[in-house]
């Protein structure tokens, strides 16, 4: 890669940021398409988000990904925010178009694409979503338009109810919210087609945990776990053992990155290249 005076700079802001896969994934994609772009990671403290966005303008940084814990805070400093990102209060992608900053959220489309590319079609199906945090909100907003029925279970019931109300007001679909409990999961799963874990249960260092008991999993269920650390969670292993179709959180990570790449470059993302680079890196560290 030759960095010149014309190279367009993209990056990711977050804290912590050391373990991000975005630079690996995007630089590999820029190289594959011979685009004069470079991607860096910036550790930005919560108190410095406004300054970081000003810096983006001042330095003419072309695009940014935004990760934890800044996805909500950045919204205050952008010129325009896409309708979905505004509704869920979360931006993970910023595009600098001639000095005007546009905010988007690619988590929802990333999840939908990950499902579809792996042979799972949520349209017309009953989907059980566990969680109502940032990622869950993005996924719910996208899936509410596709699924026939969406059930949202969250440890904090109020969050689930607020999300369900937003979706019911926005889309004419059946959306139900309840408290996350073993019984609620078991009962809802009985007639669900797709299960998505968007809680952090099962994430390292608690990789031996799962929100769903093995006995409740079935071969005719599709399961996506958005946790990608470990790459194969306990839920994913159990679902595979039960004969269910499994889509990993790693796939969602790749497709949300691919959607951001397309926003910044206007080119179709080389998804295979991105997946290969990110997976190779993960296996090395």
Q: Among 278, 91, 120, 274, which residue's Cα sits nearest to residue 196?
A: 120
For residues 140 and 129, give the distance between their C-alpha atoms in angstroms, rounded to a whole number.
Answer: 8
Residue nearest to ligand ATR (CB): 133
Contact residue for ligand ATR among 43, 155, 174, 240 (CB under 6 A) = 155
- Whichever of 201 and 235 has its CB closer to ligand ATR, that residue is 201
CA 215 from chain center: how many Å?
A: 28
Of 31, 73, 117, 133, the residue at the interface with ligand ATR (CB under 6 A) is: 133
From 16-24, 42-50, 130-138, 258-266, span contacting ligand ATR (CB under 6 A): 130-138
Active site residue 158: no
Closest listed residue to residue 216, CA positions, set 124, 278, 133, 128: 128
The answer to whether 147 and 123 are in contact (CB under 8 A) is yes
Cβ atoms < 10 Å from Cβ of 189: 18
Among residues 38 and 153, whose Cβ is nearest to ligand ATR? 153
CA distance 66 to 266: 19
Asked whether 207 and 233 are in contact (CB, 8 A), the reply is yes
Candidate ranges 41-49, 116-124, 131-139, 240-248; the one touching ligand ATR (CB under 6 A): 131-139
Q: Which stretch binds ligand ATR (CB under 6 A): 119-127, 194-202, 243-251, 274-282?
A: 194-202
Please select the residue that binds ligand ATR; options are 72, 170, 200, 229, rule is CB under 6 A.
Answer: 200
**Burial grade of 56 (CB within 10 A; 0-12, 13-18, 19 or more):** buried
Judged by CB under 6 A, the residue of 132, 175, 236, 269 near ligand ATR is 132
For ligand ATR, the binding residue among 7, 72, 118, 159 (CB under 6 A) is 159
- Please report whether residue 131 would count as binding ligand ATR according to CB under 6 A: yes
Q: How many CB atoms lie within 10 A of CB 220?
A: 8
Minimum distance from residue 24 beta carbon to ligand ATR (Å): 20
The interface mask with ligand ATR, positions 90-129, x = CB under 6 A, is ----------------------------------------
Q: Does 233 bind ligand ATR (CB under 6 A)?
A: no
CA distance 80 to 76: 10
d(CA 135, CA 108): 8
Find out whether 198 and 139 touch, Cβ atoms under 8 Å: yes
User: Closest separation between CB of residue 215 and ligand ATR, Å?
Assistant: 19
With tokens 């690619």, the residue in question is: 106
Query: Annotated active-site positions, please?
Result: 71
Note the residues at the interface with ligand ATR (CB under 6 A).
Answer: 68, 131-136, 154-156, 159, 180, 199-201
């Amino acid at each position: 890669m030759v960095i010149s005076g014309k190279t367009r700079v993209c990056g990711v802001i977050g804290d912590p940021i050391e373990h991000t896969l975005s630079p690996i994934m995007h630089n590999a994609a820029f190289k594959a398409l011979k685009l004069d772009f470079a991607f860096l990671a910036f550790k930005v403290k919560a108190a410095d988000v406004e300054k970081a966005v000003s810096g983006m303008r001042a330095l003419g940084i072309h695009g940014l990904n935004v990760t934890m814990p800044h996805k909500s805070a950045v919204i205050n400093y952008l010129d325009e925010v896409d309708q979905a990102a505004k509704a869920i209060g979360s931006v993970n992608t910023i595009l600098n178009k001639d000095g005007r900053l546009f905010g988007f959220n690619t988590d929802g489309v990333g999840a939908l694409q990950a499902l579809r590319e792996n042979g799972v079609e949520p349209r017309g199906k009953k989907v059980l979503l566990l969680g109502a945090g940032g990622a869950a909100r993005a996924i719910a907003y996208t899936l509410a338009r596709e699924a026939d029925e969406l059930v949202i279970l969250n440890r904090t019931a109020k969050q689930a109810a607020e999300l369900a109300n937003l979706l019911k007001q926005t889309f004419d679909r059946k959306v139900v919210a309840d408290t996350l409990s073993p019984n609620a999961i078991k009962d809802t799963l009985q007639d669900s087609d797709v299960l998505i874990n968007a809680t952090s249960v099962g994430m390292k260092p608690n990789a031996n945990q799962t929100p769903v008991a093995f006995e409740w999993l079935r071969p005719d269920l599709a399961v996506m776990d958005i946790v990608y650390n470990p790459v194969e969670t306990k839920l994913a292993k159990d679902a595979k053992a039960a004969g269910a179709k499994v889509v990993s959180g790693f796939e969602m990570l790749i497709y949300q990155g691919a959607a951001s790449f397309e926003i910044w470059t206007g080119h179709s993302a080389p998804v295979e290249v991105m997946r290969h680079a990110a997976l190779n890196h993960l296996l090395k560290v």
